[in-house]
Amino acid sequence: MLIKENQVKAKRVSEKPIIVPIKEHAWEAKATFNPGAIYLADKVHLVYRAMSEDNTSVFGYAVSNDGIHIDYRYTEPMYLPREPFEQKLTPSGHSGCEDPRLTKIGDKIYMLYTALGGKSPPRVALTWIKEKDLLDQKWHWSKPVLITPPGIDDKDACIFPEKIAGKYFIIHRSGNDIDGAFSETLDFDGQTWIEEFGWIAPREGMWDSRKVGTAAPPIKTERGWILFYHGVSEKDKTYRVGVVLLDLTDPTKIIARLDEPILEPEAAYEKEGEVPNVVFPCGTVVIGKKLFMYYGGADKVVGVATIGIEELLKDLEARI
């Protein structure tokens, strides 16, 4: 197979992580990572996964004025496990709310996340908050509801920012593939599950040969939707970041896919942590002509990298 080298790579804009654990805060003493991101009122709002020493995951909240430096950080969790399906069932086992991804639709901010109790496979949960409440830091989140079936390991989920052919498009990972699902509504009853179809698969012999999963909700451009994803190789357990370009009107069609990752663990905080050699984005925003990517480093801290939209599109279109 002929591998075509990328012309562009994502660039770290900070030598150090932008969010790190705070030992004095029990709820985020062990790890702060895998942040969802959304651009509202000229600021980047980050909802990051925080872990206590007993491996309970909750969500913290931070704000950046320039997309790089943290200007405000809420001192308490902004989202806690509330439902039976996300309560700890095994002492010191992993449980709670993991890896949030945010999408604005109308005046609501929808959040999909991985809900985990510890004795059954993780599932995707959906909740939402009014945009005004988020900006006012009034955490009036809707009652979370599961949208994927029981008994199946399902995570890495987000909602497409726009309806496709009149339906909502939900992206998630079941098994080792990125799957898609169309839904007439986002008002789930906790008894009806999304029906998936296989979509983006690992590639044999490449850096993403073992498994792939959605990074963040896609970014719309005039030439197609840019979708970032994480991939793992059969040769190692390293998490890297790749990109696909989706058709503008029918995003189930993949126009192009880069052969090489645009980001891989290089910094010390990406190589050493709770899980070594991991870069794991859950949020991207556009500021000017750049994409800002927010990611977890080694399941321990939050990093940020940028990439030019035009340069990335040219690289992708060279694969068409």
pLDDT 10s digits, 254-294: 999 999 999 999 999 999 999 999 999 999 999 999 999 99
Task: Report the percent of the chain where pLDDT is more than 70.
Answer: 99
Q: Over 80: is that where the pLDDT of 3 sits?
A: no
Confidence of residue 1 (pLDDT cuts 50, 70, 90): low
Confidence of residue 92 (pLDDT cuts 50, 70, 90): confident
Q: What is the mean pLDDT of residues 231-250?
A: 96
CA distances from 297 to 71, 165, 215, 279 (A): 20, 37, 14, 5
Q: Does residue 5 fall inside a structural domain? A: no
Give pLDDT, residue 4. Answer: 72
Domain that holds residue 59: 11-317
Q: What is the mean pLDDT of residues 71-89?
A: 98
Q: Does residue 2 fall inside a structural domain? A: no
Number of domains in the chain: 1
Give pLDDT, residue 6. Answer: 73
Q: Max Cα separation, the chain?
A: 53
Q: Does residue 3 fall inside a structural domain? A: no
Rounded CA gap, 295 and 281, in Å? 4
Confidence of residue 108 (pLDDT cuts 50, 70, 90): very high
- In this structure, which amino acid lies at residue 152? I
Q: Over 60: is that where the pLDDT of 135 sits?
A: yes
- In this structure, which amino acid lies at residue 112? L
Q: b/e for 256-283, b at 16 or more Cβ within 10 A? A: bbbbbbbbbbebebbeebbbebbbbbbb
Q: Does residue 1 fall inside a structural domain? A: no
Q: Does residue 137 fall inside a structural domain? A: yes
Report the first-to-last Cα separation within the chain, whole angstroms: 16
Q: What is the mean pLDDT of residues 90-106?
A: 96
Mean pLDDT of the chain: 97
Q: Does residue 142 fall inside a structural domain? A: yes
Beta bridge partners of 307: 291
Q: Over 90: is that where the pLDDT of 244 sits?
A: yes
Q: What is the mean pLDDT of residues 170-195?
A: 95
Tokens at 112, concatenated: 């999909």
Q: Does residue 258 fall inside a structural domain? A: yes
Q: Over 70: is that where the pLDDT of 2 sits?
A: no
Beta strand pairing status for 72-73 and 31-40?
A: unpaired
Q: Over 60: is that where the pLDDT of 224 sits?
A: yes
Q: Does residue 164 fall inside a structural domain? A: yes
Task: Report the percent of the chain where pLDDT is more than 90.
Answer: 94
191: which DSSP letter? S
Give residue-wise pLDDT tens across range 36-76.
999 999 999 999 999 999 999 999 999 999 999 999 999 99
Nearest of 10, 55, 46 to residue 265 by alpha carbon = 10
Q: Over 70: is that where the pLDDT of 200 sits?
A: yes
Q: Over 60: is that where the pLDDT of 218 sits?
A: yes
Give pLDDT, residue 5. Answer: 74
Rounded CA gap, 76 and 302, in Å? 18
Q: Over 80: is that where the pLDDT of 24 sits?
A: yes
Here the CATH number for the domain that contains residue 228 is 2.115.10.20
